[in-house]
Amino acid sequence: MTAFLKRPKAKQQFLANAIKKAGQKTDKNGTTTRFTPDKYPFNVNVTQILRQYAFADVTPINVFHYRYIINPNNTCSGLDAVRVYFVVKSTPHNSSKRDIIHDTCADKNRFPSIRIIFSFGIPNKEEVLLDLQDESAKYHGFSLVNYKDNHYNLTLKTVSGLKWAVTHCRRAMFVVSVVDDIYVAPDLLLKYLDNLPAWKAETFFSGHRLTGTMPIRDPPSKWYTPKTEYTFKNYPHYILGGFVIMSMSTVRNFTTAAMYTKLF
């Protein structure tokens, strides 16, 4: 909210009109019973704001300051255009699952318009890191960033992969963000994308939509979300992060908007 309050008056009014106001009520345990978009995060028309103001005068609250230890910056070279760019959020020890992807989606002879990177943080065990380096030398297309690779940092894994796509493969028409244990049929995906009308393809965003889900408050769970991270009783509607298809213009908007959204 601090950044919002520092905006010039006209821009504050623009955002105020864009934000959907919602009632807020807190129970005796400190849990807000209804999601309030003007508190966390802004529920605004990001595309409209980017086009009109581009956040030029607002200090970002979520700057990506991590460093790429392995940077596959030549993955997109050799093509005038890439049809689909896959950002695979992979667990470091899942080499067998990556082998399947190498033999299917990543097969350039069968799917020359597809390119893939595997996105990682730093694994806990040094031997796993060494294995990753060896695997990267064999296959290339590995993006290793210096945050800790764990479930809590899945957001960083997503953002780092999308930022890489925008920076190094900006000519790709679509980006698929997917986890390594979901199989994608690339031939069917390409056929589906080819049949999209142009107006829809420009700002495309698709996945499995979840509604009415609640944070898990059980500390032993790997999906545990403390109230200090998210105080509301329910999540807003959202797309499941395991498989998302986006146009490149949508990805550009997402990576910019991420700088002004609380990391979660």
* pLDDT (tens digit per residue) in 35-83: 555 455 554 555 555 665 554 556 667 778 888 888 887 777 655 578 8
pLDDT score of 152: 83
* pLDDT (tens digit per residue) in 9-34: 443 443 334 333 333 344 445 444 45
Cα 254 from Cα 163, distance rounded (Å)? 9
In a domain, 24, yes or no: no
CB count within 10 Å of CB 1 equals 11
Cα 183 from Cα 193, distance rounded (Å)? 17
User: Torsions phi, psi of 232, nearest 5?
Assistant: -80, 155
pLDDT score of 36: 55
Residue 119 pairs in a beta bridge with 89, 143
Query: 191 falls in which pLDDT band (50, 70, 90)?
Result: very high
In a domain, 32, yes or no: no
pLDDT score of 24: 39
Cα 187 from chain centroid?
A: 23
* pLDDT (tens digit per residue) in 203-252: 899 999 998 899 999 999 888 888 888 888 888 888 888 999 999 989 98
pLDDT score of 95: 92
The predicted model scores a pTM of 0.78
Distance (Å) of CA 191 to CA 162, 185, 196, 198, 217? 23, 10, 9, 14, 41
Specify the pairing of strand 238-247 against strand 142-148: unpaired
Q: Average the pLDDT over 103-117 and give the result.
A: 89
pLDDT score of 123: 92
* pLDDT (tens digit per residue) in 6-15: 334 443 443 3
In a domain, 163, yes or no: yes
Task: Count how many domains the chain has.
Answer: 1
In a domain, 211, yes or no: yes
In a domain, 121, yes or no: yes
Specify the pairing of strand 84-89 against strand 174-179: parallel
In terms of residue numbers, what domain contains 169?
68-260
Closest CA to 132 of 147, 119, 116, 115: 119
Are 167 and 126 within 8 A, CB to CB? no
Please work out, in degrees rounded to the nearest 5, the angle formed at the alpha carbon of residue 161 by the alpha carbons of 256 and 95: 165
Q: What is the CATH number of the domain that holds 182?
A: 3.90.550
In a domain, 219, yes or no: yes
Are 260 and 55 within 8 A, CB to CB? yes
Q: What is the mean pLDDT of the chain?
A: 78
Please work out, in degrees rounded to the nearest 5, the angle formed at the alpha carbon of residue 161 by the alpha carbons of 150 and 87: 100
Cα 233 from Cα 212, distance rounded (Å)? 10
In a domain, 92, yes or no: yes
Residue 68 pairs in a beta bridge with 145
Closest CA to 123 of 112, 132, 136, 111: 132
* pLDDT (tens digit per residue) in 132-181: 889 888 888 888 999 999 888 888 899 888 988 888 888 899 999 999 99
In a domain, 2, yes or no: no
Count H helices, E strands: the chain?
Answer: 9, 7
pLDDT score of 30: 47
Query: 92 falls in which pLDDT band (50, 70, 90)?
Result: very high
